[in-house]
Copies of this chain bind each other. A is one copy, B any other.
Amino acid sequence: METKSENRSFGGTQGVYSHASEACGCDMTFALFLPEEARTAPVPLLWFLSGLTCTHENAMTKAGAQAWAADHGVALCFPDTSPRGDDVANDEAFDLGQGAGFYVNATQDPWAKHFKMWDYITEELPTLLERNFALDRERQAISGHSMGGHGALTIAMHLPDRFRSVSAFAPIANPTESDWGRKQFTAYLGDDTSTWALHDSTRLMEERGFDGPVLIDQGTDDQFLHLLKPEALAHAMTARRQDGAFRMQKGYDHSYFFISTFMEEHVAFHAEALYA
């Protein structure tokens, strides 16, 4: 593991690190914020998965999460959103290939060789973090934005024992019924749609739900509402009587100005579960 940068931030350290990833078959970069408390004891960890086109850097610099994580003594991990590099398959579209891993293990060529973001986020990166940083693996929570909200929700519902709480900002909520989903799942997973359902938050909510609190924020002026399909997930959460809240935030769009506005409440929401 190589330290790319470390900056003092809110009494803790905002680091950026890279490492050779076995899962993805390329070097991967991630950002980790450690609050001051991590100097003396392992701290809880909140994962934040980012959206289309993002690297580890966008949320690290624009979401304003460190202020609140420091307040609560919580670490933050911002992974990249796909494998990267000249040897890694790509597509001219912004919503397929590099920057658009969709948090699945690709089974189809040319993607299968490197696009194993599910394994990377759920297995390889957690193991690396536990070995190298003062983190308490028993106290984890997960959040994300857009494609990353999709990732956070699907991963949380698959691994209910790992995460105490899950939240999302404007998640791609029903990808099997959206052009943000069908296109990528066809490319990465193939035509057999039975493999897709494992990666659809609405379907997972209908079938499994989450054994903990769920918080979703969605802007009413989001330019991608027709692709995100929040109504499907809100229906599924309510029909299941899922512990949680689905909040429509008037006037907000899909940007980091929306995310940063509600980040304080998301971090506090997770901190309550992490310190319960």
- Chain A residues with a Cβ under 8 A of chain B: 7-11, 14, 61-62, 64, 66-67, 219, 221, 251-253, 255-258, 260-261, 264
Among B7, B66, B260, B264, point to the contact of A9 (Cβ < 8 A).
B260
**What is the interface of chain A mostly: helix, strand, loop, or mixed?**
mixed
Determine the distance from Cα of A7 to Cα of B7 in the docked complex, in whole angstroms. 29
Complex contacts, A253 vs chain B, CB 8 Å: 7-8
Cβ contact within 8 Å between B7 and A258: yes
Cβ contact within 8 Å between A67 and B8: no
Complex contacts, A258 vs chain B, CB 8 Å: 7-9
Determine the distance from Cα of A219 to Cα of B8 in the docked complex, in whole angstroms. 9
Cβ contact within 8 Å between A67 and B264: yes
Complex contacts, A221 vs chain B, CB 8 Å: 8
Determine the distance from Cα of A7 to Cα of B62 in the docked complex, in whole angstroms. 14
Complex contacts, A219 vs chain B, CB 8 Å: 8
Q: Closest approach, in angstroms, between the C-beta of A27 and any C-beta of chain B? A: 23
Q: Closest approach, in angstroms, between the C-beta of A55 and any C-beta of chain B? A: 15
Q: Closest approach, in angstroms, between the C-beta of A38 and any C-beta of chain B? A: 14
Among B8, B251, B255, B264, point to the contact of A257 (Cβ < 8 A).
B8
The closest CB in chain B to the CB of A67 belongs to B64
Determine the distance from Cα of A264 to Cα of B10 in the docked complex, in whole angstroms. 11
Determine the distance from Cα of A267 to Cα of B36 in the docked complex, in whole angstroms. 23
Complex contacts, A251 vs chain B, CB 8 Å: 8
Complex contacts, A7 vs chain B, CB 8 Å: 252-253, 255, 257-258
Residue of A7, A67, A260 with most chain B CB atoms under a 10 A cut-off: A7
Among B8, B61, B260, B264, point to the contact of A252 (Cβ < 8 A).
B8
Q: Closest approach, in angstroms, between the C-beta of A24 and any C-beta of chain B? A: 27
Cβ contact within 8 Å between A67 and B9: no
Complex contacts, A9 vs chain B, CB 8 Å: 257-258, 260-261
Determine the distance from Cα of A67 to Cα of B62 in the docked complex, in whole angstroms. 12
Complex contacts, A14 vs chain B, CB 8 Å: 257
Q: Closest approach, in angstroms, between the C-beta of A140 and any C-beta of chain B? A: 24
Determine the distance from Cα of A236 to Cα of B258 in the docked complex, in whole angstroms. 43
